[in-house]
């Protein structure tokens, strides 16, 4: 089984459980920090994905949001967000996803984002293009900021929140619309598919976007930090765009 096949199958397995729990609401919630919750659904989904990887690729390293990094030394690192959009999930908002990325020597080479309620599977491998359910996807061609549909997220630290508050007004007034959808991974997938034109996140974690970045790059878009340097798994923030509006957005955001 290839890494992509495994990521597709475990994201669907985890997604099936998330969907069941979303409709039944049979999960409990804990506070991680002032603005951050975790549910028993996040933990179950993570367990399913990690046991799949350990079975097929026992030598690979894993970084997963809820259990952290395992102790293995490997050039391969799986970067997992088992439930991206936990607050949406809790609020019975169906926009949540499973995000699985694979980095080789610190470069993301494969990514899968699965949206259980829409049953949409986004995936990409380095040099092979990006797809949703078998169909090739491409970023949008929009080049005028006033015509753009933009989204944003922010990390939970006060600095990230303040940064988002600072650029919110400017982008809300300039773009066609500027919204917070609540799942960074989905918002990257939507840029890759050309549904939206860009996503910006101050205070990002690698598991939120590892899979999303390869979707955007393989769909012809650009992924940088907020200073315009190419995004890496060590970056603290991210701007993923269709490429045409990157410079203008970097200017508006700073």
Interface contacts to ligand IPD, rule CB under 6 A: 81, 84-87, 153-155, 182-184, 208
Q: Among 39, 52, 63, 81, which residue interacts with Ca ion (rule: CB under 5 A)?
A: 81
- 187 is a contact residue toward Ca ion (CB under 5 A): no
Residue 46 in the binding site for Ca ion (CB under 5 A): no
User: Is the Cβ of residue 145 or residue 210 nearer to Ca ion in the bound state?
Assistant: 210
Confirm if 249 and 198 have CB atoms less than 8 A apart: yes
Q: Which one of the spans 51-59, 79-87, 110-118, 215-223 is the region binding Ca ion (CB under 5 A)?
A: 79-87
Residue with Cβ nearer ligand IPD (57 or 216): 216
Q: What does the alpha-carbon distance between residue 86 and residue 102 come to, in Å, rounded to a whole number?
A: 22
User: How far apart are CB 41 and ligand IPD at their closest, in Å?
Assistant: 11
In residues, how long is the chain?
Answer: 254
Considering the complex, state which of residue 74 and residue 180 has its C-beta at the smaller distance from ligand IPD. 180
Contact residue for Ca ion among 17, 65, 237, 246 (CB under 5 A): 65
The least distance separating ligand IPD from the CB of residue 171, rounded to whole angstroms, comes to 15
Of 84 and 218, nearer to ligand IPD (C-beta) is 84
How far apart (Å, rounded) are the C-alpha atoms in residues 227 and 213?
17
183 interacts with, out of Ca ion, ligand IPD, none, CB within 5 to 8 A per kind: ligand IPD
- The site partner of 246 among Ca ion, ligand IPD, none (C-beta below 5 to 8 Å per kind) is none
C-beta of 65 vs 187, nearer to Ca ion:
65
Cα–Cα dist 127/199, whole Å: 22
Residues that bind Ca ion (CB under 5 A): 65, 81, 83-84, 208
């Amino acid at each position: 089984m290839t890494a992509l096949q495994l990521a597709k199958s475990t994201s669907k397995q985890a997604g099936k459980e998330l969907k069941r729990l979303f409709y039944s609401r049979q999960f409990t919630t804990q506070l991680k920090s002032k603005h951050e919750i975790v549910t028993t659904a996040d933990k179950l989904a993570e367990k399913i994905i990690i046991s799949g990887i350990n079975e097929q690729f026992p030598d690979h390293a894993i970084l997963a949001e809820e259990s952290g990094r395992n102790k293995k030394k490997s050039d391969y690192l799986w970067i997992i967000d088992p439930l991206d959009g936990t607050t949406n999930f809790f609020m019975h908002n169906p926009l949540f996803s499973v995000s699985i990325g694979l980095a080789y020597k610190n470069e993301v080479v494969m990514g899968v984002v699965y949206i259980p309620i829409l049953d949409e599977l986004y995936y990409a491998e380095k040099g092979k293009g990006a797809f949703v359910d078998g169909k090739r996807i491409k970023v949008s061609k929009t080049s005028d900021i006033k015509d753009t549909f933009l989204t944003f997220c922010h990390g939970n630290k006060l600095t990230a929140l303040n940064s988002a508050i600072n650029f919110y007004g400017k982008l809300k007034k300039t773009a066609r619309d500027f919204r917070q959808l609540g799942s960074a991974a989905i918002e990257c997938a939507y840029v890759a598919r050309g549904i939206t034109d860009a996503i910006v996140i101050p205070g990002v974690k690698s598991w939120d976007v590892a899979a999303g970045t390869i979707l955007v790059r393989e769909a012809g878009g650009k992924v940088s930090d907020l200073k315009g340097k190419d995004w890496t798994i060590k970056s603290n923030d991210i701007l993923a765009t269709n490429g045409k509006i990157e410079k203008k957005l970097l200017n508006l955001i700073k």
